Amino acid sequence: MDNPDFEVVTTLTVVRRGIWMPDYELQNGEIVVGTLKRQSIWQPLTEASTPAQSWTFKRIGCFHRKITVRPAGAPTNSALVSRQWNGQAEIVFANGKQFYFRKKSFWSTTWQWRTETGEVLAELRRTFTLTPQVGLTRLSALGTTLPEAPLLCLLGWHLIRIAAGHRRQ
């Protein structure tokens, strides 16, 4: 995960809770800083929350797969995520800001959120262990100051779950 253009400022742990329809937590040490919860096995709706904000992610489309992002309880979308067949994605916010979700390399288990100029905001890496820990999120200095960073971190793990082919995501 070493990147000469990427200085890690904060590292968060991703922990899986439950088996049938697992929830995921982003933790800074023992403190939960974000959660991902699937609302129902029958609906493609996931709730993401931090202590300050909550959003819903809804998958739409069949051949042109997209995810809508809404603040919890809001009637309109705040962002639209376009997904590609290989798991990569682009998010466009209502204000026009764009970020890109890409795999670090073909064989890598590390994904990155990047700005339009290519700066790395965060790296999300899946880990394969028998413990509830499923991954790590490493934030750059820019990633810790960006208002969209909490949403991008949670959305990134949602996209990783989808790309991994989880049936109960």
Decide: helix, strand or coil at residue 65: coil
Element (H, E) at 71: strand 66-71
Query: Domains (ranges, CATH) in the chain?
Result: 8-163 (2.40.160)
Q: What is d(CA 54, CA 105) in angstroms, rounded to the nearest whole number?
A: 31
Residue 2 has a pLDDT of: 47
pLDDT in tens, 4-43: 556 677 889 899 888 777 889 999 998 999 999 988 777 7
